[in-house]
């Protein structure tokens, strides 16, 4: 949450910072602001609302520019999303500017202390205390990085901070604790950002910052030096890495929205996530999972922790893990997990699923699990992010950058990664024979083509979505792995269309939710394959009849050729036949398209739904 950019180099800092903020706007869009040291002073501008408001302000009242600058796009935590609470925050003389992502937990005490010393704080934010503390520290030590270290030692909570000072105009300083910050290293220039997307147009060389580290970017004649230290001032190990996607991957590529582009990219994302993980003989090779075979053979319980859409991927993974490995598996909301004192030990494998790799609830859950001695395997889409760094092992999904706030391609690739982990566990523990593993791997390899087929038949789904734009409620039903798909369909609709949408296990209908059914209420039903476990299929066909008899308008997602369901479907969405456990990979796609089109028809902002942010770095 909140996007941060810092720049030092030969280009116009303001332009670089604004372009970076545009790429980070998905992280928060309550307000935006910039600051540049220039002409012996500090120039700053900030505006409530989206970045466009700030750009308008800058067009009306341009700022001078120099070689250094910082910027921020906000997702509000402390204080309303207005101009005063927008970042950057300045000290009283207006010499230091600070941008911040996270929450400073002891800010009230620090604020009171500053007020006693005569500082006047003008916002309701926790951030503002940092600019005042930095100002004091700089006055006594004359070095912005040292001032930042001194201040960070006094702060509690989670924070990424980036600052500039009018008296040291060639320097940008950053710090991080439990909140993301990466360094981009270009030719004679360097960048700080919450996410590499902010500087990928300039460089693909990056440096990971560790916990409790301060970084200084200092411009010296034509070069820029990057120095990383701990909060205590000791030299820190620098971990450079190469970003393996380029700027075009983060562009809309002709689509109206990132979400549409990301939905369309799913076949490739699924195929890329399988790439290199299947050997010539068709068996699984997950050498990157560094948890040794003997440890995996000892595992007697799997616990999956995740939030939102990633949690839904985890719910589906539970079916595959238990079926293929016979190890008991629980899937739990990361935000609930550590507060209920879960039973964990050395024989528990915890799987943390996260697209961003920065979700605070998931991070806290995995830390708790490791403290209890459990091994943690991360499934993550973001290289070098905190969750994989703090896990024992990681399986990266190769979805590429996901910019739209609503997760789509990340979800499908999380599912693929979960299936791979489940099969791998089965392979290592001998609960799955080699030819069984190879057969599922073959079926997984067919999925990219099947997702493509689904995408090619989506026009009737879009038409249907448009016709429902004035509805208030849509319900979603599913059974078995179709139940988490129903939850995911409802979540997509809530977050994008701002409609009342709920997902239910179809078997629960009679225990309450059926009371909601009324004339013409749209109910989406995810139907399991009539092949395989036909008992599930027959039961859901009865459920469809029950709701239809009470007036529901049934929107049925069913396997092509499923004639038994056709008479009861007011709208039939056909998907390709897949094995039962893999069906979510194709059944989810129409629900993504449905939600995206409904949101568009209702005039909502598809890529940046209200009140949300892509990366939730606070608990
Ligand atoms: C919904 C959505 C969120 C995320 C959740 C976890 O479309 O995107 O529910 O899935 O915030 O985020 P990650 O996967 O980054 O941990």
**Strand 301-306 relative to strand 348-354: parallel, antiparallel, unpaired?**
parallel
Q: Is 97 strand, coil or helix?
A: strand
Between 584-601 and 409-429, two packed helices, what is the crossing angle to 10 degrees?
170
Is the sign of the CA dihedral 248, 253, 257, 259 positive or negative? negative
Q: Is 346 part of any domain?
A: yes
Q: What is the pLDDT of residue 485?
A: 98
Give me ligand 1 centre to Cα 72, in Å.
Answer: 22
Domain identity same for 115 and 49: yes
Per-residue confidence band for 456, with pLDDT thresholds at 50, 70 and 90: very high
Residue 118 burial by Cβ neighbours in a 10 Å radius (0-12, 13-18, 19+): exposed
Residues with beta carbon inside 6 Å of ligand 1? 307-310, 354-356, 359, 362, 406-407, 491, 495, 615-616
Q: Evaluate if residue 564 carries a pLDDT over 70.
A: yes
Q: Which of 233, 250, 267 is the last residue of a domain?
A: 250
Task: Give the Cα separation of 529 and 502 in Å (integer).
Answer: 23
Residues 10 and 150 occupy one common structural domain: yes
Please name the residue whose Cα sits nearest to atom 10 of ligand 1: 309
Residue-wise pLDDT tens digits, 575-610: 999 999 999 999 999 999 999 999 999 999 999 888
Query: Closest ligand 1 atom to the C-alpha of 311?
Result: 10
- Ligand 1 centroid vs 310 CA: distance in angstroms? 6
| pLDDT computed for residue 112 by the predictor | 96
Q: What is the mean pLDDT of residues 245-266?
A: 86
Order of all β-strands in the sheet with 96-104? 89-90, 96-104, 157-165, 171-177, 213-220, 223-230
For residue 607, being part of any structural domain is answered with no
Residue 613 lies in a domain: no
- In 3-state terms, what secondary structure has residue 441? helix
Atom from ligand 1 closest to the CA of residue 616? 11
271 plus 336 within the same structural domain: yes
Q: How far is the CA of 412 from the centre of ligand 1 (A)?
A: 13
Domain stop point among 455, 472, 487:
455
Q: Residues 317, 413: one domain?
A: yes
Cα–Cα dist 218/146, whole Å: 13
Q: From the alpha carbon of 492, which atom of ligand 1 is closest?
A: 7
Kindly tell me the burial class for residue 456, based on how many C-beta atoms sit within 10 Å of its own C-beta (0-12, 13-18, 19 or more). exposed
Known active-site residue 261? no
Give the CATH number, domain containing residue 77: 3.60.20.10
**With contact defined as beta carbons under 8 Å apart, do 513 and 615 qualify?**
no
Better-predicted residue by pLDDT, 432 or 172: 172
- Work out how many domains the chain is built from and give that number: 3
Going by alpha carbons, the residue nearest to atom 7 of ligand 1 is 406
Q: Note the Cα 458 to chain centre separation in Å.
A: 26
Q: Is the pLDDT of residue 314 over 80?
A: yes
3-class SS of residue 217: strand
Within a 10 A sphere around the Cβ of 12, how many other Cβ atoms?
A: 15
Helix pair angle (107-116, 128-141), 10° resolution:
60
Nearest CA to ligand 1 atom 16: 354
Residue 315 predicted with pLDDT over 80: yes
3 state SS of 560? coil
Q: Is 614 in the active site?
A: yes
Query: Which of 46, 47, 409, 614 is the catalytic position?
Result: 614
CB 584 within 8 A of CB 485: yes
Contact between 454 and 583 under an 8 Å Cβ cutoff? The reply is no
* 350 and 218 both lie in a single domain: no
Q: If we measure between CA atoms, which residue out of 523, 514, 537 comes closest to residue 594?
A: 523
Residues 229 and 277 in one domain: no
β-bridge mates for residue 437, sequence order: none
Q: Which of 250, 276, 307 is the last residue of a domain?
A: 250
Any domain includes 608: no
- Ligand 1 pocket, mutate which of 363, 407, 489, 591 (most atoms under 8 A from CB): 407
Is the pLDDT confidence value at 247 over 80?
no
134-151 tens-digit pLDDT: 999 999 999 999 999 999
Pocket of ligand 1, candidates 313, 337, 359, 608: which has the most ligand atoms within 8 Å of its Cβ, to mutate? 359
| Atom from ligand 1 closest to the CA of residue 308 | 9
Look at residue 442 and tell me whether its pLDDT is greater than 80. Answer: yes
Span 8-16, mean pLDDT?
A: 96
Please state the rounded mean pLDDT for residues 411-426: 96
Å from CA of 582 to ligand 1 middle: 21
264, 379: one domain: yes
Determine if the peptide bond prior to 88 is cis (ω within 30°): yes
Ligand 1 center from residue 311 Cα (angstroms): 8
pTM of this structure:
0.83
The mean pLDDT of 316-325, rounded to a whole number, is 97
Whether residue 609 lies inside any domain: the answer is: no
- The catalytic position among 2, 329, 380, 418 is 2
Instruction: Give the pLDDT band of residue 533 (cuts 50, 70, 90).
Output: low
Question: How does the average pLDDT of the chain come out, rounded?
Answer: 93
CA dihedral 75→128→102→227, nearest 10 degrees, is 120
In a domain, 117, yes or no: yes
Q: CATH number, domain at 336?
A: 3.40.50.10490
Q: Report the percent of the chain where pLDDT is more than 90.
A: 81
Least confident residue range of 75-79, 207-211, 411-415, 432-436: 75-79
Distance CA 433, CA 208 (A): 40
User: Do 373 and 488 reside in the same domain of the chain?
Assistant: no
**Shortest-distance atom of ligand 1 to CA 408:** 7
Q: How far is the CA of 356 from the centre of ligand 1 (A)?
A: 8
161 with 32, same domain: the answer is yes
pLDDT at 281: 80
Q: What is the pLDDT of residues 90-138, one digit of tens each?
A: 999 999 999 999 889 899 999 999 999 999 999 999 999 999 999 999 9
Radius of gyration, alpha carbons of the chain:
25
- 236 shares a domain with 150: yes
Residue 577 falls inside a structural domain = yes
Report the residue among 26, 262, 307, 315 best suited for mutation to probe ligand 1: largest number of ligand atoms under 8 A from its CB: 307
User: pLDDT for 565-574, tens place per residue?
Assistant: 999 999 999 9
How far does the centroid of ligand 1 lie from the alpha carbon of residue 177, in Å?
21
Q: Is 528 inside a domain boundary?
A: yes
Residue nearest to atom 6 of ligand 1 (CA): 307
User: Same structural domain for residues 478 and 550?
Assistant: yes
CA-615 nearest atom, ligand 1: 15
**Do 273 and 246 have their domain in common?**
no
Contact indicator for 54, 34 with CB cutoff of 8 Å: yes
Beta bridge partners, 409, equal: none
Task: Return the ligand 1 atom nearest residue 309 CA.
Answer: 10
Mean pLDDT of all residues in 265-291: 86
pLDDT, position 611: 85
Rounded (10°) CA dihedral 208, 210, 211, 215 = -80
CA 275 – CA 384 distance, rounded (Å) = 20
- Furthest-apart CA pair in the chain: how many Å? 80
Confidence at residue 140, expressed as pLDDT on a 0 to 100 scale:
95
Instruction: State yes or no: pLDDT of 290 exceeds 90.
Output: no
Domain that holds residue 147: 3-250
In angstroms, what is the span from residue 251 Cα to ligand 1's centroid? 21
Can you tell me the mean pLDDT for 552-560? 97
Per-residue pLDDT at 77 exceeds 80: no
Tokens 């091994």: give the residue.
375
Does residue 326 surpass a pLDDT of 70? yes
The whole-angstrom separation of Cα 317 and Cα 369 is 19
Give the integer Cα–Cα distance in Å for 613 and 75: 7
């Amino acid at each position: 949450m909140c996007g941060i950019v810092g720049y030092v180099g030969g280009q116009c800092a303001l332009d670089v910072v604004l372009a970076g903020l545009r790429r980070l706007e998905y992280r928060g869009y309550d307000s935006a602001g910039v600051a540049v040291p220039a002409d012996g002073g500090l120039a700053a501008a900030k505006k409530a609302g989206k970045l466009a408001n700030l750009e308008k302000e800058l067009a009306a009242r341009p700022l001078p520019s120099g070689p250094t600058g910082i910027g921020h796009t906000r997702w509000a935590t402390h204080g309303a999303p207005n101009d005063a609470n927008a970042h950057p925050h300045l000290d009283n003389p207006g010499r230091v500017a600070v941008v911040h992502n996270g929450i400073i937990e002891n800010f009230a005490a620090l604020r009171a202390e500053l007020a006693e010393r005569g500082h006047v704080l003008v916002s309701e934010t926790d951030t503002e205390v940092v600019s005042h503390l930095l100002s004091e520290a700089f006055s006594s030590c004359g070095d912005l990085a040292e001032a930042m270290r001194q201040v960070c030692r006094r702060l509690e909570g989670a924070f990424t901070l980036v600052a500039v000072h009018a008296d040291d105009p060639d320097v940008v300083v950053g710090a991080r604790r439990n909140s993301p910050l990466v360094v981009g290293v270009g030719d004679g220039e360097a960048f700080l950002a919450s996410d590499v997307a902010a500087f990928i147009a300039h460089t693909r060389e990056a440096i990971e910052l560790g916990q409790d580290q301060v970084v200084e970017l200092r411009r010296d004649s034509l070069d820029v030096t990057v120095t990383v230290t701990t909060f205590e001032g000791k030299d820190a190990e620098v971990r450079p890495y190469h970003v393996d996607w380029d700027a075009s991957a983060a562009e809309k590529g002709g689509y109206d929205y990132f979400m549409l582009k990301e939905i369309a990219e799913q076949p490739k994302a699924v195929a890329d996530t399988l790439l290199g993980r299947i050997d010539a003989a068709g068996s699984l090779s997950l050498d990157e999972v560094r948890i040794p075979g003997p440890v995996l053979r000892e595992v007697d319980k799997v616990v999956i922790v995740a939030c939102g859409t990633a949690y839904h991927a985890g719910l589906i993974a539970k079916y595959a893990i238990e079926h293929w490995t016979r190890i008991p598996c629980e899937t739990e909301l990361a935000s609930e997990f550590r507060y209920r004192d879960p039973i964990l030990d050395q024989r528990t494998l915890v799987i943390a699923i996260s697209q961003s790799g920065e979700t605070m609830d998931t991070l806290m859950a995995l830390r708790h699990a490791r403290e209890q001695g459990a091994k943690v395997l991360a499934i993550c889409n973001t290289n070098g992010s905190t969750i994989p760094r703090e896990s024992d092992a990681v399986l990266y999904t190769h979805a590429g950058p996901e910019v739209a706030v609503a997760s789509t391609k990340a979800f499908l690739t999380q599912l693929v990664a979960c299936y791979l982990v489940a099969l791998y566990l089965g392979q290592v523990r001998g609960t799955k024979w080699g030819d069984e593993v190879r057969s599922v791997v073959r079926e997984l390899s067919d999925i990219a083509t099947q997702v493509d087929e689904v995408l090619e038949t989506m026009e009737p789904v879009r038409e249907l979505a448009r016709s429902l734009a004035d509805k208030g409620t849509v319900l979603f039903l599913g059974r078995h792995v179709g139940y988490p798909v129903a939850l995911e369909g409802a979540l997509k609709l809530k977050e994008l269309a701002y409609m009342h949408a709920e997902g239910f296990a179809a078997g629960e209908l009679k225990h309450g939710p059926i009371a909601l059914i009324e004339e013409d209420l749209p109910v989406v039903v995810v139907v399991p394959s009539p092949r395989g476990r036909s008992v599930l299929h027959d039961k859901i066909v009865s459920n469809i009849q029950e709701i239809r008899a009470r007036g529901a308008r049934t929107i049925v997602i069913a396997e092509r050729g499923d004639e038994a369901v056709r008479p009861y479907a007011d709208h039939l969405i056909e998907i390709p036949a897949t094995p039962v456990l893999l069906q979510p990979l194709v059944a989810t796609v129409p629900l993504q398209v449905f939600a995206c089109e409904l949101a568009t028809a209702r005039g909502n902002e598809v890529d940046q739904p209200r009140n949300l942010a892509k990366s939730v770095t606070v608990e």
